[in-house]
């Protein structure tokens, strides 16, 4: 049976499209059962049929808890096995994270624990780092602080701008996310109490994406 994936997105949905393409080409045994957004005009929503879209503005709710409850109820209704935050720009509340604990995964454009939050490419350049990249991690209430499952690295080149660096990181984000999803969908990766296990054995450092798009210890 195909794994049921729900995607949270706030923007254009390039990672979502990578997932949809991989499914269409038989590279990922999964179904995207819903796309959910905090922006009603998010381009990501247009990548799936209307019955699989849910969007609402947080400003239309009394508070964060009310919005998170509505989002959580909509998610629960499509019974996902995994919930993927792919360019979702709103912080998820503690009650929401607890409701879906162990099934929430995020892709973040930095080599966590470096550069949690926004503007990661500019911050890496300002720090004079030699490399940058992306991380797939489990979601916890603290921003970008969950256990990292896998990472992909890119060199920072002379003359790089935040924009040029962002493009190279995006190019590795897609294969990183797909390789991670393949492991999650197969049941080879589990997480409990902050400890990630691969094939039943503790994973003490993130898996690394190689040039062939394969995750290695």
Q: How far is CA 33 from the centre of its chain?
A: 16
Is 13 one of the annotated binding-site residues?
yes
- How far apart, in whole angstroms, are the C-alpha atoms of residue 119 and residue 128? 15
- How far apart, in whole angstroms, are the C-alpha atoms of residue 162 and residue 149? 25
Is 90 one of the annotated binding-site residues?
yes
Q: How far, in Å, are 27, 104, 130 from residue 141 at the CA level? A: 32, 11, 30
Write the CB contacts of 55 (distance below 8 Å, at least 6 apart in sequence). 36, 37, 38, 39, 40, 42, 45
- How far apart, in whole angstroms, are the C-alpha atoms of residue 78 and residue 75? 6
- How far apart, in whole angstroms, are the C-alpha atoms of residue 187 and residue 113? 25
Candidate list 108, 121, 132, 174, residue with the active-site label: 108
* 108 assigned to active site: yes
Q: Where are the alpha helices (DSSP H) in the chain?
A: 14-24, 64-77, 94-99, 120-126, 162-186
- How far apart, in whole angstroms, are the C-alpha atoms of residue 192 and residue 77? 24
Is 92 one of the annotated binding-site residues?
yes
Report the candidate in 48, 47, 45 with the shortest Cα–Cα distance to residue 37: 45
Is 106 one of the annotated binding-site residues?
yes
Is 1 one of the annotated binding-site residues?
no
Is 14 one of the annotated binding-site residues?
yes
Catalytically active residues, by annotation: 108
Per the annotation, where are the binding residues for (6R)-10-formyltetrahydrofolate?
64, 89-92, 106
Per the annotation, where are the binding residues?
13-15, 64, 89-92, 106
């Amino acid at each position: 049976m195909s794994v049921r994936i729900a995607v949270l997105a706030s923007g254009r949905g390039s990672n979502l499209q990578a997932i949809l393409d991989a499914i269409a080409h038989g590279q990922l045994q999964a179904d995207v059962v819903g796309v959910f957004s905090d922006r009603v005009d998010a381009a990501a929503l247009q990548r799936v049929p209307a019955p699989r879209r849910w969007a609402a503005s947080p400003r239309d709710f009394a508070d964060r808890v009310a919005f998170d409850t509505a989002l959580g109820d909509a998610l629960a209704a499509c019974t996902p096995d995994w919930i993927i935050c792919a360019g979702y720009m709103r912080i998820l509340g503690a009650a929401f994270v607890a409701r879906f604990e162990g099934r929430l995964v995020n892709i973040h454009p930095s080599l966590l624990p470096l550069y949690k939050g926004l503007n990661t490419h500019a911050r890496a350049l300002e720090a004079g780092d030699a490399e940058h990249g992306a991380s797939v991690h489990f979601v916890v209430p603290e921003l970008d602080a969950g256990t990292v499952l896998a990472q992909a690295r890119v060199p920072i080149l002379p003359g790089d701008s935040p924009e040029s660096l962002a493009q190279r990181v995006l190019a590795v984000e897609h294969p990183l996310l797909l390789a991670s999803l393949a492991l999650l969908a197969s049941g080879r990766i589990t997480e409990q109490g902050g400890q990630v296990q691969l094939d039943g054995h503790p994973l003490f450092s993130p898996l690394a994406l190689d040039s062939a798009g394969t995750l290695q210890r």
